[in-house]
Structures are given as structure tokens and as C-alpha cells.
A and B are shown apart, each in its own frame.
Chain A
């Protein structure tokens, strides 16, 4: 039987999506449901003096209005930070309380203050306009760089500083810098982004008054984790009385990791009013309240010798957490960022120092790549600038500093098990026709255009898992993943995973894996996820972990099925277990060549006996049935890596940047489904180009979000991109039996510096910040003209 792993299998999930039969949260309606609208703070920072709901309560169709007072009285807990980070001086990070409904003070525009519940959405909207709130408006703190000198937002959190974290050795770095021929310096802003999953967040809550069970349908990347947090910290209901279902979810990119205010409030409120509640965000609500991404201000330096050897690296960053610390908010700018900031290079001495600050803006959390795009942007801007200043070819300089042997002990934390960075960059150069770039530059110049080329090489630590490792770094839970494989008596198989697909294609790729392991047709396998009442448990999908952690749990559960099958087959075929070989779905007794299919074994496991004879196929010590589960906790992260090359052409008259060519060569280890992996890379690159050229989240000084709709926030569109040219190299991961590495975030990690390096190359080395909009680039073109005419 040909292996399905490695094949371009078309997706099992597609038909329902293509025929309009997907079932997203907003598609769900429950009899007798009510509709919720949230009253949100219009101010970035304000004391809430009084909430008057009396007039609103009299409005037509209103079922109830609940505020921060009631939720506090009911002792419903708030939102949490998932990782505890310690400052350089040993003190613990400082975290403010984050109640589901603000009671005394609102800290960002859009923070919910009350929930209005009515029979229809129109009625809920009308009534919400009648809720009268008296505010005392306070001065907002919004500027990342200046936050520490602003007014204190949260009582007791001095300088608005959550932590001042250090990774690395300042003394060693000082010494390395003293030996350098040159110090390369960059000042960077990693622009704030809104993840913008196309499906706005939503929840539908159904409280069963008989069983006292709450069912929450929600747009989550991790329903089991949501249930755990809502139960353990929110106190909404005990875990066994709370069912969380994340059905079809329309994209996440990190923004649907967190349990949000609305999910907690609607769950609690549904129990109070004893009716189902439906809430669906409008796009502007998503802009205001979904967790945002990035938002770093960085100064970084690289110490180099004249012949291009890297000696030392330092990175001083201020990271904006927004108003509150959320699940991955505190770890994203520390352990997901700091270690990767030294990139794919041997650098003997390094440190990353990060000050995380609170501001009166929406909370910032993981967004595709989470910390690693910021890290790669930092080091790859430095390396490109070093190449320019040293007069060494940018690819040659990189190759000189790549590790040549693996495992590679990276400077700050990770031991990278496998890779071949030279092969990746060589392949990218060849695919991009790197060596002939200058002739293309001349062609562009002949048309009056500026052409630039940019390279970046990256690695990342993903497949976020090893529980002992992440918990040692401050994570509040273990990050294993679970799977259960149920072989049904009549031969179909249900594979339950704790991972969650919101575009990742688990129904297909996980079925490919199970089909190979069990030797059955893929059509017989259904992958089930997203319902805490169905699967065992799970930590969900983020950090490119589904395959490297969740996929391996499936492999291991399948291996247990086969192991039991062997014992049963041995008994049925009356041979010893070691005489049985399992291949292509059959258990074969090697000497006699008698065989039992895995389907026959499954049937026997459920129907263990026969007429007229007292004989069971189940060996002593085994039980009937054929269901196995596995909790997999890998030994290490996985470390995909690669090199990307971009060429841009700039029209100096308009400042418009056109991405002309984009080449990506990535090493994801063994690839389960090339079609799906390519799709992941395309999407990641597009988001990264979006960050580099188009997207920016802007708050004004009063804390109003001025990019709160698609009319103001530039989403990349089809005509913004060329066709991406993808290639792969392959070194197997050693930390899992499939040899796979994560692929979901790589594109978004590698592409921003690749594009910016190309833009800056085209602009003659002038620094420019992301996004490189036409206005900024046009101004830079004017400068270039001036300096060229001076030189002439």
C-alpha cells in the first residue's frame, strides 16, 4: 500500500466549505435564544463613576442587563496571564486584575462594561444606547516608547512596567563588543498588527436548566483550554458542567487562543437568565477587542570583525502588552522572542533585555509567529546592514556565520536538533537567480524604477510543547497533546485530537497519518476535534504545534491499536505474538501465512466469542474493545528554518512598492501533505508582506483606534502579491518519530525582514520603518534624489 504521508491528498473538509455547509459559530441558532450586545468604553482610560441601566431596562424586548457589579458579586473571575515571567532583579512580573466586565475603571477603548440581552438583536442594540455611564476621563497612555514615563495606569504597577527581563550575559557581551572592529546598530519598530481572522469572534451559549450544564459554542483555537480557564479561573461552572464546542472556526492566527470577556460573560449570563444567548462581533468590535500582535520598539547591536565574523549581539526592547496581560501576552516578547533574536548564527555572546509595559490599548498577545517574527526582523535587519557596511555579499556573510554541524547549541536557550542552513540558502539563491540580480536592477533603472533585493535566513522554535521545558520558563500548564483512536466494530475509525483546525486541514493530514499507521483506506477515518464532550482533552492549536505534538499523539495511539491487534491476532491464529507481522492493514502469521485484517481484529475485539464454543479472541490480561489513547509530550521544540529572497521594484514618482519576485526555501523536516504545507507558507508570506508594506494599527494620543475597520486598516489583497516561488530542503526532526517540524508560522516569520531588506536596498540603504507605505517610500526617494545630486 502506497504511503499517504507525503502525498498531495485533497482535503476532506473542502466539500462542506465549498457548498456553504460549513457550520461556524454565527451559523448556530438555538430555540428561544436571546441576543447580546456589549456596552463598551468609548474612552481609553476612565473611571467608571456610575452605570445607570434603568432606562435601558424599560426598552422593548430587553431580557436583562448585567454589569461589573453583578459579576463581581457572583465572584466570576477575570482573564488571566498564562505565563509568569521574572524580572532581571528576581522580582515576579506585575499583573493587574482583568475583570470580564469593567467595574471601576476602563483601560482601553472597547473594554466591555455591561451586557444587554434582548429578544432580538435590534432590540438589544437599541437598549444598549440607553445605558448611561458617567465617566471621569483620565489621560491615556498609548505610546510604547514613552509609556514608562507616563501616568500609572494600574495601581501599584510602577512605570507601567510588567517586567524588565534579561536573557543572556551582559558582561560577556560587553567583552565581545570591546573586541569588535565594527558595531552595527539598528533602531526598529515592529508595527502593531491586528490578526484579522476573517470570521469575527462569536459565541452562542445554551444553559440546560435540568442538567445545569452550560454548552458554549465559540470561536476558539483551543476549546479544552478555554474550558479549563473558564472553570478554574473564571469559576463559571465546574469542568464537568461546562461543554465547550469550537465548530468550524474561520481562522485564528493567535487571536482566538484567549478566553475572552464575552465568552465568560455570556456563559454566566445564560445561566442567570436561563435562556440561550447569542453574541456575534461586528468587525469594528473585533478590531477593538481581539488581541493584537507585535508592537515592539527595539534597539539592537551586532559586534562584527572586518572579515564578517559575528562576535556579540545585544537587544534592548520595549514590548507593549496593551491594557492587560493575557494568555501568551507575557511570553511572546520574552521566551518566544529573546532566544530567537540571535537567529541562525553562531554568536558567542548575546543578551536580550525586554521591558514589557502596559498601555491603554487592546491587549497584545500571540499573532502568527508570536515573538519569532520580531526576533527575525531584529537580527536580519542587523545582518543585512552589516553586509552593506562591511562590503561583503549578504549571502556570503550569512553563510560564514551559519553553524555547520548539528545539534547546534544556539547562544541563548535552544539546542537545535537538525538543519542545513547552507543548503537552504544555496537553493534559495539558485531559485531566485540571485547572481544575476544586478542585470535586473539595471533593467528597472532603465525604466526609471528602483529595484532592490533582500534576503533573510531564519530559524524558529515551534511545536510549542515540552511540558517540563515550558513550565520551567513560567508556563502555567503543560503543553502536551492528546489523541484517542476509536476503532469501531464495523471498521470505521474515529480519531479524536485535542488540536483544533481553523484552516490547518487536520481532517485530512491527521487522517493520512492514521491511515498509514493502521493500513486502512483514508475514507474510513474521521478526525474529530473541537468538542470537549467528544475528545479526551487537549491544549489546542497555536505555535505550529498541531502536527509535531498532536499528530504524534495520533501515531502513538495507532501504534497501541496495532500492538493490541497483534496480541489478538496471535491468539486467533494460534501462534506466538512475535510470529505476527503487521503490514498494510493485515496481521500475518509469518510461518503459516494465515492472516487477519485489522477490521476482523476490531470486530473480534468487540464481539469476542462464538456459538457452541467457549472461546474468546481476547488474550488474558487484555480487555474487549479497540480504543487507545496517547498523551504525547515531545523531548524538544521543533526547529524549522529557511532562507527567503525578495525583489521589489519602486516607482520613485509614486513611492509604490511592488513585490516582483518572492522565493522561499524552507526546511520543515518530513512533509505530510505538500499541497497543504505550500498553502500554509503562501498564507504566512502574505501576512508578513502585509506587515512590511501595508498593515498598521494606529492609536491616537487619546487612545482612540483610528484603524478600526477595513476602510482604515489595509488588509493585503490578491493584487498586492506576485506568485510566490517555493522550494524545500529536508532534515528530519529528531524529537518526534515522524521527523516533522512545524510549518504554520514560518512564512510570517521570514517575510517581513526579507521584504524590508529589499526595500531598503532599493532605497540605497536608507532606513525605513514598517509598513513601507507609498508615502514613506516616496519621501525616501526624494532624499535619495537629493543625495545623488549632491554626490554628482
Chain B
């Protein structure tokens, strides 16, 4: 057991966790932040992507104790004062989601892309999202959504 101190979606949190606790499970089971999904357990699908100190990571293959003292943002922390983030708005406008399961990871990954590159090309978007699998959309409207968000940010 270890005690970890985190800031999750702007809230300070201090918890005792077993050493082997996976970060995605910590968020889902200990903090009830079930917006972070687990789709594969092998860090291939990207449904579990969150931000740690502003950078996107796959939380299904990270230990909770390894992110001690960091700032975490999950999909639940992206909207501010009830207003969706421009990336969330863009996904809605461009129909960038269907079943919604891969969506939290996809959105978190896309937000990080635009931090690194303001106006990415289609190919750059597709390359960046290579670690996020979506079975529903064929990715076309996800790419369109990222471009739409880029035009607004």
C-alpha cells in the first residue's frame, strides 16, 4: 500500500492504494470516474487516454503510484462550468462518435494533438490518432471534428 497525492480534474486527492493498482482502475473504481474506459488491457486501443501533467497517456498501462504528485485531467474534467470544450463540441457537430466507447480517449488524445500542433493536416491527425481504435466511425468524422476544433481553438 502506498499513499498518493494527486490533483484530479482540479480537485486535490489523497488515497492509499495497493502498489499494483492500475491508474485506469484507480480512476474508475476508487474515484468513480467511469468516463475513462478500458478496451484492451494492452495499451493498443486508447479508450483509456487521459492527461497527466498536460500530456496524453494510456492509463490502462500506468500504475497509480507512478503518477504520484501529478495533475490529472480525465474526460470528466474537460468541460468548464458546464460548457463543453471546443473539441467536445466539434465531435458533436461533426458526428465524430457513434457508440461513444472510444470517445473519451479519442477526445483526450485529440486535445493533446492540438496542443502540439495548431493546424494539423489530415495525415498528421490520422497519424497522431493511430493509437486510438474506433470500430464505429471509420475515423472520417473524427478527423473532421479535430479539424473543426482546430479552426475554433
**Residues in chain A within 8 A of chain B (CB atoms):** 10-11, 13-24, 26-27, 196-200, 248-251, 253, 282-284, 502-505, 675-676, 678-679, 682-687, 709-711, 715, 717-719, 721, 723-724, 747
Contacts and interface: CB of A to CB of B under 8 A. Distances in A.
B34 interface: yes
B54 to A, nearest CB: 18
Contacts of B33: 20
A676 B76 contact: no
Nearest to A14: B92
B122 A198 contact: no
Given A14-B97, A251-B99, A709-B40, A718 B75 contact: no
A20 B39 contact: no
A681 to B, nearest CB: 8
Nearest to B144: A723
Contact of A24 (B37, B79, B97): B37
Interface in B95-153: 95, 97-104, 107, 122-123, 125-127, 129-130, 132-143
B100 A17 contact: yes
In the A-B complex, the 5 residue pairs with the closest CB atoms:
A20-B35, A250-B101, A17-B100, A686-B138, A503-B99
A282 B97 contact: no
A720 B25 CA distance: 31
A251 B136 CA distance: 7
Contacts of A11: 92, 95
Contacts of B15: none
Interface in B54-109: 74-76, 78-79, 84, 88, 91-93, 95, 97-104, 107
A723 B88 CA distance: 22
B99 A20 contact: no
21 contacts: A18-B75, A18-B107, A19-B35, A20-B75, A20-B76, A20-B104, A24-B101, A197-B101, A198-B37, A198-B45, A198-B47, A199-B101, A283-B39, A683-B135, A685-B138, A709-B44, A710-B45, A715-B45, A723-B143, A724-B138, A747-B138
Contacts of B34: 20, 23-24, 26-27
B72 to A, nearest CB: 13
Given A200-B39, A718-B129, A711 B44 contact: yes
Contacts of A504: 98
Contact of B139 (A18, A249, A718): A718
B98 A19 contact: no
Contacts of A196: 135
Given A196-B135, A718-B125, A718-B142, A20 B36 contact: yes
Contacts of A248: 99-100
Contacts of B100: 13-14, 16-18, 22, 248, 250, 503
B135 A198 contact: yes
A19 B134 CA distance: 17
A710 B140 contact: no
Contact of B133 (A24, A687, A717): A717
Interface of B: 28, 33-42, 44-45, 47, 74-76, 78-79, 84, 88, 91-93, 95, 97-104, 107, 122-123, 125-127, 129-130, 132-143
A15 B79 CA distance: 11
B37 A709 contact: no
Contacts of A23: 34
Given A20-B75, A196-B135, A719 B126 contact: yes
Contacts of A685: 138
Contacts of B91: 14, 18
B133 A18 contact: no
Contacts of B42: 283, 709-711
A718 B99 contact: no
A249 B99 CA distance: 7
A13 B129 CA distance: 23
Nearest to B40: A283
Given A686-B138, A709-B40, A20 B92 contact: no
A691 to B, nearest CB: 13
A88 B34 CA distance: 52
A21 B127 CA distance: 28
Given A19-B79, A283-B40, A679 B98 contact: yes
B99 A15 contact: no
Given A18-B84, A715-B133, A282 B93 contact: no
A683 B92 contact: no
Contact of B76 (A13, A19, A283, A679): A19
Nearest to B105: A198
A505 B39 contact: no
A687 B127 CA distance: 19
Nearest to A251: B99
Contacts of A675: 95
B41 A198 contact: no
A251 B78 CA distance: 24
Nearest to B123: A719
B127 to A, nearest CB: 5
B92 A15 contact: yes
A521 B113 CA distance: 38
A594 B123 CA distance: 61
A505 B92 CA distance: 12
A60 to B, nearest CB: 14
Nearest to B97: A17
A71 B152 CA distance: 58
Q: By CB atoms of chain B within 10 A, which of A14, A16, A249 has the most?
A: A14
B98 A198 contact: no
Contacts of B136: 198, 251, 503, 679, 683
A721 B140 contact: yes
B101 A19 contact: no
Given A19-B75, A20-B75, A251-B136, A198 B39 contact: yes
A251 B135 contact: yes
A718 B101 contact: no
A149 B23 CA distance: 50
Contacts of B92: 10-11, 14-15, 18
Contacts of B35: 19-22
A723 B135 contact: no
A283 B135 CA distance: 14
Contacts of B142: 718
Contacts of A718: 125-127, 129-130, 132, 134, 139, 142-143
Nearest to A675: B95
Nearest to B20: A122
Q: By CB atoms of chain A within 10 A, which of B33, B38, B142 has the most?
A: B38
Contacts of A678: 95, 141
A709 B141 CA distance: 26
A196 B133 CA distance: 10
Contacts of A747: 138
A258 to B, nearest CB: 18
A199 B47 CA distance: 9
Contacts of A719: 123, 126-127, 129-130
B98 to A, nearest CB: 4
A148 B98 CA distance: 42
Contacts of A284: 41
A599 to B, nearest CB: 29
Contacts of B95: 10-11, 675-676, 678-679
Contact of B99 (A16, A250, A676, A709): A250
B126 A198 contact: no
Given A18-B92, A717-B130, A719-B123, A679 B39 contact: no
Contacts of B143: 718, 723
Contacts of A250: 37, 99-102
A256 to B, nearest CB: 11
A683 B123 contact: no
A27 to B, nearest CB: 4
B104 to A, nearest CB: 5
A698 B45 CA distance: 20
A23 B32 CA distance: 12
A197 B135 contact: yes
Contacts of B38: 26, 200
Contacts of A717: 129-130, 133, 139
